[in-house]
C-alpha cells in the first residue's frame, strides 16, 4: 500500500516534503534562505541545490521537512538554475531586500511572490 501511495505522489507531480535552510556569512553580514523542494530529484536537491559554493563566505546548511515560518517573502514555483525544476524560496532577514527579490522572482515564468 505504501509503495502505491508513493507512486501516486510521484505520478501526480508532487514531491515529498524536503527543505534546506542555507545560512551564509561574510564578516558581520549573514544571509538566510530556505529552499522548499517542489520537483527536484531528492538526491540532486540535497547534493547540489542545497550546497552552494560562495567564495569568501562561510555556509551552513540545515535539512528540514519544510521551511520555518518568519520569512518576509516567498518566491513560489521558482525555477531552479535555468532547468525545469521548481522550488519555493523563503527569504529571511532584511525585509527591504524584497524590492530586489520580488521583481527577480516575478520575472521567472510561472513564479509568483508571496508576502506571508
Q: pLDDT digit string (tens) for 41-61?
A: 999 999 888 988 888 889 999
- In residues, how long is the chain? 116
Q: Which of 8, 44, 100, 110 minimizes the C-alpha distance to 35?
A: 44
Tell me the percentage of the chain whose pLDDT exceeds 90: 63
d(C-alpha 73, C-alpha 8), whole Å: 31
In a domain, 3, yes or no: no
In a domain, 1, yes or no: no
In a domain, 102, yes or no: yes
In a domain, 66, yes or no: yes
- Give pLDDT, residue 30: 84
In a domain, 15, yes or no: yes
- Over the range 9-39, which residues count as b (16 or more CB within 10 Å of their CB) and which as e? eeeeeebeebbbbbbbeeeeeebbbbbbbbe
Tell me which residue range forms the domain holding 52: 10-114
In a domain, 83, yes or no: yes
d(C-alpha 111, C-alpha 74), whole Å: 10
In a domain, 2, yes or no: no
- Average pLDDT over the chain reads 85
- Residue 12 binned pLDDT confidence (cut-offs 50, 70, 90): very low
What's the whole-model pTM score?
0.81
Q: What is the count of structural domains for the chain?
A: 1
In a domain, 5, yes or no: no
| pLDDT tens profile 64-79 | 999 999 999 999 999 9
- Give pLDDT, residue 28: 82
Amino acid at each position: 500500500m505504501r509503495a502505491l501511495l508513493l507512486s501516486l505522489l510521484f505520478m501526480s507531480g508532487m514531491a515529498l516534503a524536503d527543505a534546506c535552510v542555507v545560512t551564509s556569512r561574510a564578516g558581520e553580514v549573514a544571509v538566510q534562505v530556505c529552499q522548499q523542494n517542489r520537483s527536484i530529484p531528492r538526491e540532486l536537491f540535497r547534493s547540489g541545490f542545497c550546497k552552494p559554493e560562495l567564495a569568501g563566505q562561510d555556509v551552513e546548511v540545515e535539512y528540514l521537512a519544510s521551511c520555518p515560518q518568519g520569512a518576509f517573502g516567498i518566491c513560489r514555483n521558482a525555477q531552479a538554475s535555468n532547468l525545469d525544476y521548481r522550488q519555493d524560496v523563503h527569504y529571511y532577514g532584511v525585509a527591504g531586500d524584497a524590492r530586489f527579490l520580488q521583481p527577480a522572482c516575478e520575472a521567472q515564468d510561472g513564479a509568483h511572490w508571496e508576502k506571508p
